[in-house]
Structures are given as structure tokens and as C-alpha cells.
């Protein structure tokens, strides 16, 4: 394991590098990326949503299906395959986690499949995962890691879980002003609120631990969003975090599971190219202003004005989300099929895809480097010898 100056991240008795790769769907963080990160002794994360896009035989079978249960079964089969492949890639090192979004309608099925297939951890956000302990009750060895953004949400979840006799094995604290994808705020105007600042959430959470009789470090805190340098790793671990989580920086590594065009779009984006908008799940989102997104935002007001509840508007026929602005006619949120657009992005279709991205610059600029070099830089400050200023 890489030599560094930080304490290890301890999850279920395993000593890990204090680096977590965030889950990114559709298909952006699949077995190759998660396995590569875990092979270095860190936490690699599979995003569970619609992994059938990495399996041509499952896609072919899905063309002949017209029922939700059948599609869910194929996606669970894809998840099982991906966990197995990630484990092979990792060589048994590190930790293999599965990110399951609470907002996805099939989340209980995906959680169960992840547990059956031997995932080391379930990471859940995009909603408050209050019932995750019940969903995993038959799998006590599976680590449970909720994603939250402020101390109020952490307090609600901890009190609920502790009454059930279950403690999170770690907590990811994600800052909406920096993270990519679905952001932990109710409105775009709220994403920069000081209540989300790590300098506030970390000490407030440690104080909450004191009131609940929890020891500091008993539940590791993992900060996510805007981590793009060794200096930031030092800063936040010094403030009481046990690890840091990165998404976009891992998505653009050589081992990232998405198409090279996807990596080029994310790595080449400048600050003015990155915009916030309301996604279909009712949460703010952040993405690169590609031709499709620019066209959509120009039409957004008209599309929202014509919003109506109609299951036939679900262009994929998936009913993938528990709440969908397009299908359910929610006028103030997104009016597009998110599964269709994220799958196009994963395939590198720049003119059609939705490319979620964090707000900050990347550690290696627009260069595409291996996972090992990224982890080494984050933990030691050492940059690759070639190609990086």
C-alpha cells in the first residue's frame, strides 16, 4: 500500500487509504474504475443505476421487455456481474462499494442484489436513507454509508438509526456547491449556503457525536466535493475528516469506464462551461454546458409550462425514478429523460448526452492519467514526472 502521512480509513475493521471514489452513473463508475481504485487499497464505488449499458446481451434482452420488473431484473443481473468483475480487478484489495440512489424506484432491489453479490458496502444518497438498516438486516457484514450534506440531516439519520441499534459505518458529507450530479439542496439558490461548509459541518457533527455518546472517529466522516489537491486533503483531514471522496477526478482517469469523449468533455470544461439547473428528480444538478444542455435550458421554461402528468412521456418506459419531473408533470423541475441522456454521455455522444461534473478544476487539468497517479498525488503531493505542470 502507498506510503503516506495520514491515518488509515477504518471501515468494518479494514484499514484503507483515506480516499473514496464516488459513484457516478449511468455506467461512468463501473467495474474497471471501482476495481482499479480498490486495487490501490482505497474505496472503489460502482454506481448501480442501469449498468446493463455495459452488457450488450442484457441490452438486447431489454429490447424485448415491456414491464418494469423485467428491466429491474436485468439491471440487477448487470450489477451482480459488475461486482464480480470489480472484485477480480481489485485482487481482493481495498473495498468495493455500491452506490444506490434513494431516488431510484428500484433501490430496494438494487440494495439486495449488491448484498447478495458480496459488495463490501452500500452507499446511499439522493434522498434520506432512513430505512437502509431494514433493507440490509440480513447482511450485517455489509457496511452502510449514507450521503448527507448538513448537520441537521446527519442528526435526523443518526437518531433514527441509533434507535434501531445500527450505526453508520461511515458518513459521506457532500458539499452541494462543489459536487457533481444530484446535489444535496432543495433549490439552486441554496447550494452555496454556509450550512454546507466543511469548516462548519465537521465540528458540528463531532459536537453532535458528543451529545449522542459517540466517540470521535467511531463513525468516519468522508468529505466530498471540491477536493482537487493534496493541500485540501491535508486541510480537511486536519479538521476531523477521516477521508475524502472524489468523483470527476476519477471519472477522467485512464481506467474510467466511460467513453474517451466523455472524459475529454469533463476534463476540458472551463468554469463558464459548468452550470446548475433543476434535474428531473427534483434536486439541483451540475453539468457541462454541452449542445444538448444549452438547447434544453433555452427551452426549459416552455417545457415546464407544458408539464403534465403522463406515464407515456417516459421516453425509456423505465419509470426509473420514484419522482420524475417529466413523467409526473412537476413543472418546476427537469423535463427530460435522465436515463437516456446519461447513457448517451457514457457512450461519448457529446451532442446528445448530459455530462454531470463537479464545479472545481481537476488535479491534472485536462490530462487523462492513471488512478494510481491520482491517489499518489492526493496523499503525498507528488505529481507525475511527465505532462503535468
Could you give the CA distance from residue 165 to residue 7 in angstroms, rounded to a whole number? 28
3-state SS class at 286: strand
Res 387: pLDDT: 46
**One domain for residues 273 and 176:** no
**One domain for residues 341 and 221:** no
Structural domain tally of the chain? 2
**One domain for residues 58 and 183:** yes
- Find the range with the poorest average confidence among 98-107, 109-118, 208-217, 310-319: 310-319
Q: Is residue 101 part of a domain?
A: yes
Range(s) of the domain holding residue 293: 267-346
Q: Is residue 3 part of a domain?
A: no
**One domain for residues 82 and 29:** yes
Q: Is residue 326 part of a domain?
A: yes
Q: Is residue 199 part of a domain?
A: yes
Residue bearing the bigger pLDDT, 33 or 281: 33
**One domain for residues 85 and 117:** yes
Q: Which three cell numbers stand for residue 289?
A: 454546458
Residue located via cell numbers 419522482? 323
**One domain for residues 129 and 220:** yes
Reported as a single tens digit per residue, the pLDDT across 162-181 is 999 999 999 999 999 999 88
**One domain for residues 204 and 282:** no
Are 278 and 330 spatial neighbours (Cβ–Cβ below 8 Å)? no
Could you give the CA distance from residue 232 to residue 227 in angstroms, rounded to a whole number? 6
**One domain for residues 101 and 62:** yes
Reported as a single tens digit per residue, the pLDDT across 129-142 is 999 999 999 999 99
**One domain for residues 89 and 52:** yes
**One domain for residues 365 and 285:** no
Amino acid at each position: 500500500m502507498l506510503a503516506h502521512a495520514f491515518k488509515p480509513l477504518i471501515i468494518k475493521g479494514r484499514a484503507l487509504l483515506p480516499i473514496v471514489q464516488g459513484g457516478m452513473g449511468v455506467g461512468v463508475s463501473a467495474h474497471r474504475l471501482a476495481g482499479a481504485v480498490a486495487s490501490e487499497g482505497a474505496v472503489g464505488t460502482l454506481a448501480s443505476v442501469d449498468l446493463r449499458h455495459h452488457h450488450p446481451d442484457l441490452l438486447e434482452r431489454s429490447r424485448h421487455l415491456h414491464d418494469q420488473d423485467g428491466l429491474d431484473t436485468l439491471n440487477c443481473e448487470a450489477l451482480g456481474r459488475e461486482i464480480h468483475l470489480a472484485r477480480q480487478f481489485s485482487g481482493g484489495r481495498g473495498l468495493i462499494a455500491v452506490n444506490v440512489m434513494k431516488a431510484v424506484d428500484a433501490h430496494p432491489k438494487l440494495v439486495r442484489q449488491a448484498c447478495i453479490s458480496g459488495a463490501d458496502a452500500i452507499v446511499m444518497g439522493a434522498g434520506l436513507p432512513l430505512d437502509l438498516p431494514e433493507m440490509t438486516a440480513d447482511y450485517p457484514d455489509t457496511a452502510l454509508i449514507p450521503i448527507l450534506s448538513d448537520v441537521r440531516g446527519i442528526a435526523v439519520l443518526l437518531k433514527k438509526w441509533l434507535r434501531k441499534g445500527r450505526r453508520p459505518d461511515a458518513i459521506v458529507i457532500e458539499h452541494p456547491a462543489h459536487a457533481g450530479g444530484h446535489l444535496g439542496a432543495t433549490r439552486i439558490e441554496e447550494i452555496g449556503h454556509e450550512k454546507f461548509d466543511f469548516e462548519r459541518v465537521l465540528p458540528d457533527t463531532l459536537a453532535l457525536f458528543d451529545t449522542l455518546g459517540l466517540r470521535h472517529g467511531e463513525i468516519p466522516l468522508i468529505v466530498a466535493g471540491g477536493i482537487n489537491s493534496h493541500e485540501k486533503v491535508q486541510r480537511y483531514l486536519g479538521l476531523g475528516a477521516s477521508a475524502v471522496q472524489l468523483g470527476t477526478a476519477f471519472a477522467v482517469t485512464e481506467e474510467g469506464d466511460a467513453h474517451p469523449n466523455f472524459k475529454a468533455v469533463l476534463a476540458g470544461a472551463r468554469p463558464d462551461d459548468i452550470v446548475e439547473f433543476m434535474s428531473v428528480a427534483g434536486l439541483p444538478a451540475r453539468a457541462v454546458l454541452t449542445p444538448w444542455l444549452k438547447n434544453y435550458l433555452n427551452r426549459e421554461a416552455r417545457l415546464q409550462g407544458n408539464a403534465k402528468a403522463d406515464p407515456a412521456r417516459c421516453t425509456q418506459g423505465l419509470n426509473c425514478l420514484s419522482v420524475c419531473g417529466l413523467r409526473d408533470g412537476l413543472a418546476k423541475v427537469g423535463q427530460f429523460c435522465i436515463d437516456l441522456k446519461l447513457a448517451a454521455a457514457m457512450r461519448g455522444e457529446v451532442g446528445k448526452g448530459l455530462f454531470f461534473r463537479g464545479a472545481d478544476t481537476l488535479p491534472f487539468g485536462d490530462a487523462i492519467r492513471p488512478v494510481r497517479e491520482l491517489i499518489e498525488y492526493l496523499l503525498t503531493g507528488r505529481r507525475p514526472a511527465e505532462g503535468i505542470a
